[in-house]
Amino acid sequence: MNDIIRVNNLSKHYKILQRGEGRFEIIKTFFSRKYKTVKALDKVSFTIGEGDFVGIIGPNGAGKSTLIKILTGILTPTSGEAVVTGFVPYKQRKKYVQNIGVVFGQRTQLWWDLPVRDSFDMLKYIYKVPEKQFKTNMKKFAEILEINDYMLKPVRKLSLGERMRCDMAASLLHNPKIIFLDEPTIGLDVEAKYKLREFLKEVNKLGVTIILTTHDMGDIEELCPRTIMVDHGKIVIDAPTKDIKNKISSQRTLLIDFKGAPPKLKNKKGMKIVSKEGDRIMITIDTRKHSVSSVMKMILKKYEVDDITISEPSIEENVRKIYRGEL
């Protein structure tokens, strides 16, 4: 499989003016300015193959948006190199954009006061989409995304879910080789989210490479075979999503309500007392060291118990632990 994206030692640094507090410090900055360098991206390297579906996740400020903006040609890096579909995005932007589609969850590429159909017609003209291709794509999008009912509505009158479906169609109108999606399901209800995910699966089956940034771990689990985690401008994990899930799913939590005062349990390898409150104790278990049933058997054999609740941490919680180096 050919690499459609190659990123090598990519860095993006910003200089931020440091302002002191108080009137005297503010006046001082007029005569002596001090700057702080922020490394939004710090020597990031990876490759993505043609037809891949890759999720990029990270906390706010991790560098995800900066990375996407460089890959789409909006920003120029401080150093390093990015090559996408054979182009350097920030140097050959005019030719390059013919090969990509972009959807930002909080922005739209449709014209706010025009009917949806007019926006599509304008994009057809901008991207020089042949009439036959345009009609074929419009028919396909209308069927899968169910956008026919509001093609004559002004964009400003669409719901968020309706607008996102139209934006998705607009990004694919010119048959791009790759699409970049930044939080495409943000704010969508369950039904709209489901339809969008199913559409993206169909698009990916056609060989379109998809790069998805999101805070919704359901999107990652459902759509992306590979996940790249970014934190403080660096890649902290780049691995198959199933491997990451297997790693973070090794933990279970037992919430135990004892009859009377709880016993004085001690931490041991693979088992940790997280909290004690009244007659309740919370224990985390590493299932690679102990099975849940063996720990329960040990506790029930020695102590009187009213209730035991077993839970698995959400993937969001585990991702936060990975960022903090706890997993």
At 151, which amino acid appears? Answer: M
Q: Are residues 57 and 185 in the same domain?
A: yes
Write the CATH number for 133: 3.40.50.300
My answer on whether 168 and 262 are in the same domain is no
Number of domains in the chain: 2
Same domain, 263 and 207: no
Which tens digits make up the pLDDT trace of 7-40?
999 999 987 766 666 666 666 666 666 777 888 8
Taking only the tens place, the pLDDT of each residue in 256-295 is 888 877 778 888 888 888 888 888 888 888 877 888 888 8
- Residue 44 forms part of a structural domain: yes
Residues 236 and 296 in one domain: no
| Per-residue pLDDT reduced to its tens digit, 203-234 | 999 999 999 998 777 788 889 999 998 888 89
Range of the domain at 144: 3-246
Q: What is the pLDDT of residues 102-139, one digit of tens each?
A: 988 777 889 999 999 999 999 999 889 999 999 999 99
**What is the pLDDT at residue 53?**
96
Domain assignment present for residue 324? The answer is: no
Same domain, yes or no: 143 and 261? no
Both 171 and 305 in one domain: the answer is no
Residues 6+ apart with CB under 8 A from 229: 56, 57, 58, 235, 236, 237, 238, 244, 319, 322, 323
Query: Are residues 237 and 260 part of one domain?
Result: no
141 and 240 fall within a common domain:
yes
Q: Name the maximum alpha-carbon separation found in the chain.
A: 77
Do 233 and 254 lie in a common domain? no
- The Cα–Cα gap between 244 and 258 comes to 34
The model's pTM: 0.75
Asked, for residue 320, whether it belongs to a domain, the answer is no
